[in-house]
Amino acid sequence: MTARRGHGEGSIYRRADGLWAAAIALPTTDGRRRRKVITRKNKATLVTEYRRLVAELARTGDLETATPTLEAWMNTWLDRVAAPRLKPRTLATYRGYTTRYIVPTIGRYRLSKLTTDHVRRLHTTMTARGLSSTTALQAHRILAKALTDAVREGRVARNVATLTDAPARAINTRTALTAPEAITLLRSVADRDEGAAWATALMAGVRQGERLGITDNMLNLDGGTLTVAWQLQRLTWEHGCADHGKPPRCGKVRAGYCPQRTVTIPPDQEAVRVRGGLWLTRPKSRAGWRQVPLAQPLWEILRRYRATHTPGAHGLIFTDSGHPIDPTHDNAAWNAALVRAVLPPVVLHSARHTANTLLHSLGVDADTRQKIMGHSSAAVNAGYIHMADPIMRDAMDRLGAVLVPQIEG
């Protein structure tokens, strides 16, 4: 005897192989009968999915009868699942990895046919092109996120990316300026307008976008603190005239030239357009909202700078003739400053690394360094802003003591 079926379970049955199955009748095409059949190992799981699909059928009028290709799912995932919850720059990064690496390598395979071998092929193809294992790791993580959501939506039974070993992160060979080199740079720019910018980069430990996004009301010279609450970023334009999965109607190749160009800003995130493609956005994590004590020399440098420089658009203190500084131009100015000071060519982000390294060498504990630098691992049980505390101030004063006496001496 078989157990009585529950209400609404008329199409659910157990197959000879032990799997539970359900058949859902779909609208006919050319008079031909159509059904969508789903299977699960557990009956309760199947019933939940069956009811979800029946509700979706009632809402949309039809259901997919075959799993989509990975390319189709990645596009759907980026547009409808990931976009509402990712920051614009992160979404643009995910799109870039998808179009450059994931889709060309394994995008043609259906989700149901993906295997761990396909994931490994993605790794080896990327590294064979000379890309670092860290880049392959990022592609792996993006694929894993997309497949996790595919499993949640019942489009595939398992996430093959989580069943495959991820590539190891490449050894980080990024160099930072030493304390003597930082002093040399600060001396060389002491009488230039850019001196305050590079002093902030080296002594406040802020990211490039956070420094370029400092506004007048974030700088408290009386209290000697800097509140990090915005970052200046160039966001990627998207075609506003393109329907999902279809070519843009405007005929422009570059989305920036589209008359209806747009930037996707999730409803729960803040962004203010300042000029062209430059926007003020909130920091990348809650830990990024923080208050940093100003080291004594940095306080003095910024005090002199503010006395002679009027804030520009949106109250920005670091500007190019009153306009926001493009990050690309900022990078070029940093490289030029290193050349003038006869210093090794290191990336601008190394200024932040320099500050962190010097704080570490001074014996500042990891938790305090993470609060100053705005690393998310220090944000457990924290609010949106890490208020400057005496320990943080002491750490920044010690950093200033290393650099100050020799900058102008």
Query: What is the Cα–Cα distance from 280 to 233, expressed in whole angstroms?
Result: 6
Whether 125 and 185 map to the same domain: the answer is no
pLDDT grade, residue 392 (50/70/90)? low
Indicate whether 310 and 350 sit together in one domain.
yes
Q: Which of 171, 160, 74 is nearest to 121 (CA)?
A: 160
In a domain, 301, yes or no: yes
CATH classification of the domain holding 131:
1.10.150.130
Question: Could you read off the pLDDT of 278-305 as tens digits, one per residue?
Answer: 989 887 666 567 888 888 888 888 999 9
Side chain identity, residue 160: V
In a shared domain, residues 78 and 52: no
95 and 195 share one domain = no
Q: Are residues 83 and 49 in the same domain?
A: no
- Check whether residue 24 and residue 124 sit in a common domain: no
The model's pTM: 0.61
How many whole angstroms separate alpha carbon 401 and alpha carbon 107?
Answer: 55
Query: Domain check: are 337 and 211 in the same one?
Result: yes
- Average pLDDT for residues 97-115, to the nearest whole number? 94
Residue 249 predicted with pLDDT over 90: no
Note whether 317 and 400 are same-domain residues: yes
Place of tokens 């920005």: 316
Q: Do 79 and 212 lie in a common domain?
A: no
Q: Rounded to whole angstroms, how far apart are CA atoms 44 and 290? A: 47
In a domain, 247, yes or no: no
Same domain, 341 and 364: yes
Residue 406, pLDDT score: 45
Same-domain check for residues 98 and 189: no
Find tokens 């790794």 and name the residue. Answer: 123
For the chain, the domain total comes to: 3
Q: Which domain holds residue 208?
A: 179-235+277-407
Q: Residues 129-170: pLDDT tens digits?
A: 999 898 999 999 999 999 999 988 878 888 999 999 999 887
User: Within this chain, do residues 215 and 287 fall inside the same structural domain, yes or no?
Assistant: yes
pLDDT tens, 29-78? 667 788 888 888 889 988 988 888 888 888 878 777 677 899 999 998 99
- The angle formed by the CA atoms of residues 47, 52 and 56, to the nearest 5 degrees, is 145
Residue with tokens 């700078």: 305
